[in-house]
Amino acid sequence: DDGDLGDFDLLYLEEQGVPLIEIVHELHQDLPDQTVYVGGMDPDEVLVDMIFDAVDSEPPFEIVGIESLVTSLSREALDDRRRQLLTDEGLEPQFPENGVYALL
């Protein structure tokens, strides 16, 4: 089971994106032995696994949910605050940079 990819169209990503081997190379250079915190809104781990499996490689970083970094709030409270900030600031949640801003 590859997990739920939501609205991701892999063929579109292949046609429009950067070759996977280049992505893997950059991630190995930029994130060796790092922890990457994710918001959990997308199937982040599934997508990372698919990228690295496609080139027969292992991710050089660990993916961890943001709730393990912000331990003073429950997952639900984090999601509520993120949504509220996006609304208050007039930010559209479908843009990744807005999601990162809301997490900061």
DSSP state of 2: -
92 contact partners, CB below 8 Å, separation of at least 6: 86, 98
The predicted-structure confidence for 47-97, as pLDDT tens digits, reads as follows 999 999 999 999 999 999 888 888 898 889 988 998 999 999 999 988 888
pLDDT at 10 over 90: no
Burial tier of 62 (Cβ tally within 10 Å: 0-12, 13-18, 19+)? exposed
